[in-house]
Structure 1
Amino acid sequence: MQQPLAMFQRPEWTRVVGVFDLETTGVDVTRDRIVTAHVGVLDASGSVLAAHDWLADPGVEIPEGAAAIHGVTTERARTEGRPAGEVVREVVDALRGILDAGIPVVAYNAPYDFSLLKNEALRHGVEPILSPSPVIDPLVVDKAYDRWRRGKRTLTVVAEHYAVRLDGAHEASADAVAAGRVAQALAERFAPWLPETAHELHTRQIAWARAQAASLTEYFIHIGRLDPSDRLDGEWPIR
């Protein structure tokens, strides 16, 4: 007899999850800089167990477009922000502590945040996190289990789809916590099909992300958005 879906329990890794998000000067992970960061820990109900926020002075002008998204101007960053090198070191240390404890870190569109943090670490002489694991990326997991759902896959849209409240979108703390709760909602929704451990899910996401990038590449070529010789980078969780 087939078990009702309600009888399946969420995987063990959902009991405690780390969360991580950056707001930055732009979208180029090799050149842009951290403006704000959040690293925290959620319990099984999605309540915040620990939280740390940073505001950095990135040492460069914050473009108006970026400031309009996250609300931090160059003037505010210079006045209130801490030296970028100190912030980068503390963010790296906080994440490394969570990962070393075997707690998965949730990051929405993980390659962006982890890759930018890696390059910031190298820029400031901090030992980078080169192979973060285990990482849970709700964007990749959602696409894998609900591939044909129409609509955008931004955090705001996906959080609404899974009935996760997101107040203050594009604030690092709000986005990080919402992403963690979305990961837990995904684990509950798709419990019968999810691997039991975060490490196994991490491994599967590597393949899923590669396949998703290949599929999106073919679509962009078809609609003329990409040249046939170009390919989207499917490396995950860091590039």
Structure 2
Amino acid sequence: MSIVPWTRKPLVGLDFETTGLSVDEDRIVTGSVVRWGGPLLTQVYTWRSDMGGAEISADATAIHKITTEAARAAGRPAAEVVAEIVALLSEFASAGWPIVVMNAPFDLTMLERECARYDVRSLWDATPVVLDPWVMDRHLDRYRKGKRTLVALCHHYGVKLEGGAHNSEVDAKAACGVAWKIGNRYPRIGREDIGELHEMQAQWARGMRQEYLAWQMERLGTCDETPYDWPLIPAPQGAGT
């Protein structure tokens, strides 16, 4: 029996725009889940949260162009938004479709912290499989020079950014496009069982993290001790909701 490659099945893109860059303290502003590729038409689901009363940093607004006032005016209660995102992702994960997230530890950890904050069941109860274009590209073409941002990867793999980056819907679609291109450019990866590929990415990401810490120690005499894992960063010890 031939196995259908994951590149011929639906992918589920996920992306958030947030109040800042701290996965433990910042909040989701907008979120998009995109069912992309395979034999089905693309479907887009987008939410805007009221952030539970939090404020968007000036740096974050400069990137995604959403102000605190605009988010609060248009946003729905954060707890409802988080619960709906998790429910939809869990449904797709149960169907066996991988969740594609660029730089997965940021978005997935942000979502997990929001779940804890609002007492929403964890996405990990559904045992999702994750594809991270950043990790796959960095491992498969590790000596290529240049940036590895989503915009840079889209340019490298020939994926069109519809409307520009730093929009959750656009970025979720683009991440799927890059993952699909990687799977086709590297047939060994495209034919890999997605569960096995998930574990392979975890090993690659941890290895790259260790290399980065060693580089920091050699060049700077110190290294970043922030907790890290892929695809989910462990919660700080003693952290509450």
TM-score (ref. length: structure 2): 0.88
How far residue 223 of structure 1 moved from its aligned partner, in angstroms, is 2.7
Give the structure 2 partner of residue 199 of structure 1. Answer: 195
1:6 alignment partner in structure 2: none
**Residue 64, structure 1, aligned to residue 58, structure 2:** yes
1:9-88 alignment to 2 at 5 Å? 11-44=5-38, 49-58=42-51, 59-88=53-82
Letter in 2 for 1:209: A
**Matched letter for residue 106 of structure 1:** V
Task: Determine if the alignment matches structure 1 residue 156 to structure 2 residue 175.
Answer: no
Instruction: Provide the residue aligned with 1:3 in structure 2.
Output: none
Range with greater deviation from structure 2 (195-204 or 155-164): 195-204
Structure 1 residue runs of 5 or longer lacking an equivalent are 1-8
The offset of 1:193, in angstroms, is 4.9
Query: Any residues of structure 2 matched to 1:128-167 within 5 Å, and which?
Result: 128-130=122-124, 132-166=127-161, 167=163
Cα distance per residue 1:178-204 (max 9 Å; x no partner): 000000000011113555211111111
Please give the alpha-carbon distance, in whole angstroms, between the structure 1 residues aligned to 2:93 and 2:15.
15
Whole-Å Cα distance in 1 between the matches of residues 115 and 211 of structure 2?
32
Amino acid at match of 2:199: T
Query: Helix, strand or coil: the match of 1:19?
Result: strand
> Matched residues in 1 for 2:210 and 2:226: separation?
7
RMSD value, Cα: 2.0
User: Which residue does 1:180 correspond to in 2?
Assistant: 176
- Measured at CA, do residues 77 and 198 of structure 1 come closer, stay the same or move farther in structure 2, by a change above 3 Å? same
CA drift at 1:215? 1.0
Tell me the TM-score normalized by structure 1.
Answer: 0.89
On the 8 A contact 2:7/2:183 being kept in 1, the answer is no
Can you give the 5+ residue segments of structure 2 that lack an aligned partner in the other structure?
A: 234-241
Total equivalences in the alignment: 228
Q: Are residues 192 and 70 of structure 1, via their aligned partners in 2, closer, same or farther at CA, if it must alter by over 3 Å?
A: same
Structure 1 residue ranges (4+ consecutive) displaced by more than 4 angstroms after TM superposition? 230-234
- Report the residue type matching 1:236 in the other structure: W
Aligned residue for 1:82, secondary structure, equals: coil
Could you tell me how far apart the structure 2 residues matched to 1:78 and 1:170 are?
19
Kept in 2: contact 1:19–1:39 (CA 8 A): yes
Could you tell me how far 1:221 is from its partner in structure 2? 2.2
